[in-house]
Amino acid sequence: MRFKTEEQLLDEMKGLPEMKMAEEKKQAILSTIRSANVHSSPRRFSGLGKGLAIGTVLAATIWMGTTLISNNQQSALPAPQTPGSTTASPAPEAGKGNAVNDAPAAPQSEQLLSLIRTEAEKGKVFTAPYTVEHTVFDQVEKDWGKPDYTDQANGLSYSTYAKRGIVFGYNKGMQLADIRTNDPRLHQIHLSEVEKMWGKPNRTSEFGNQTIYTYDVTSKYQVKFIFQGLKRADNTNLVLVRYNVYYPQGNKNLMQYGSNMELLQALRELAKNGQMLGSMYRVEKDVFDDIEKQIGKPDTVSFINGITYNTYQDRGLVFAFNKGMQVVDIRSYDPRLQAITQEEVLQALGKPTSITAVSGQTIYTYKVTPDYELKIIFSGTAGKPESLYIDHVNIYYPRGTINFMAG
């Protein structure tokens, strides 16, 4: 293959868009290339010389592109364009002009957190134009097409658009009640930054090696920040992995449970049968092998005192089983339960069999049958009954946790 002459390369460089590179500079580049190829033909570049020439042209092009971007880029957070929508989520204003400004631009994480709150107050996530309460999923499907897959959990149907990083949760009337996004830009935000800008959350919970901060952004809408890892004294800088905009009222099946009182009473009746809200499986009667065949592999697995705990984050469920694979504990983190206060539990179920306080949580235990216990765990150990909310609920089979093989 014949290499290009110096004159040809110079002509091509002259043809590049104006980059304010003087002719002497271009000649100097060629002189450098010539000196690196003293053994080559006087009218040709060696293989190395050709590489240097090409690299120089590419470097100049990259330099030009960088200059154009730094001069013309307007926003650090461009709002994603959504097919089928007439409006897009607004992007925060960024400093105009070159990189040197009179006042430094706000960190991107602060911009994001401000944008998240602004959009959440409207019932939206910042990466989609749809709102909880006021949008039906039929409209989403019309605009975006069929979802990648749909599942049911915690009283809602959840449809996932994986490439967009969006999950829509909707009720039987197709009304959106939950919108989730895992946009990669969220991963730069840490728990300490959220607390600094948003203050302490209204509620804190832990589930599946994740910490969840819930904020009531309006009287109707909540933001749930999900951080990877569990918050501890030596581990407070957790990374945000996703957030939800949630409309609790839209997740109440008024035809089935007219009130929290009825929901709690239904919970107790299920517990008598060894079942949990949102699950058809039973403690004592079912083995985990069969459950896994039907609902797939768990998201996380942990072991405590000879019991295995398998977590299904999207379902809000944890199944615990013994060495014989017998299910001995089923836990629900259903958001419908998390909207119920300690006061309402006392009104619906009466005084518990026992009360304990462990690791910042209050546990009410109800002996629903000689073999089964219903455990209701509240976030917090102090405060008025109307201000403590359910974190999660267990149906527990104590006898199944005994290791008969030991001793």
Rounded CA-CA distance 334/278 in Å is 8
Q: What is this structure's pTM?
A: 0.62
pLDDT tens, position by position, 235-283? 778 999 999 999 998 988 665 677 889 899 999 999 999 999 889 999 9
Q: What is the rounded average pLDDT of the residues 16-45?
A: 49
Residue 394 has pLDDT above 90, yes or no: yes
Residue with tokens 């546990």: 363
pLDDT band, very low/low/confident/very high, at 15 (cuts 50, 70, 90): low
What is the C-alpha to C-alpha distance for residues 217 and 246, in angstroms, rounded to an integer?
Answer: 10
pLDDT 10s digits, 68-123: 333 443 344 544 434 334 333 443 333 334 444 454 554 589 999 999 999 999 99
Between 16-20, 107-111, 214-218, 398-402, the lowest mean confidence (pLDDT) is in: 16-20
3-state secondary structure the chain: CCCCCHHHHHHHHHCCCCCCCCHHHHHHHHHHHHHCCCCCCCCCCCHHHHHHHHHHHHHHHHHHHHHHHHHHCCCCCCCCCCCCCCCCCCCCCCCCCCCCCCCCCCCHHHHHHHHHHHHHCCCCCCCCCCCCCCCEHHHHHHHHCCCCEEEEECCEEEEEEHHHCEEEEECCCCEEEEEEECCHHHHHCEHHHHHHHHCCCCEEEECCCEEEEEEECCCCCEEEEEEECCCECCECCCEEEEEEEECHHHHCCCCCCCCHHHHHHHHHHHHHCCCCCCCCCCCCCCEHHHHHHHHCCCCEEEEECCEEEEEECCCCEEEEECCCCEEEEEEECCCCHHHCEHHHHHHHHCCCCEEEEECCEEEEEEECCCCCEEEEEEEECCCCCCCCEEEEEEEECHHHHCCCCCC
pLDDT of residue 25: 52
**Distance of alpha carbon 397 from the chain centroid:** 33
pLDDT tens by residue, 144-170: 999 999 988 888 899 999 999 999 999
Tokens of 386: 């109307």
The predicted pLDDT at position 24 comes to 57
Q: In this model, does residue 45 exceed pLDDT 50?
A: no
Calculate mean pLDDT across residues 302-319: 92
What per-residue confidence (pLDDT) applies to 231?
Answer: 83
What per-residue confidence (pLDDT) applies to 6? 52
For residue 11, the model assigns a pLDDT of 57
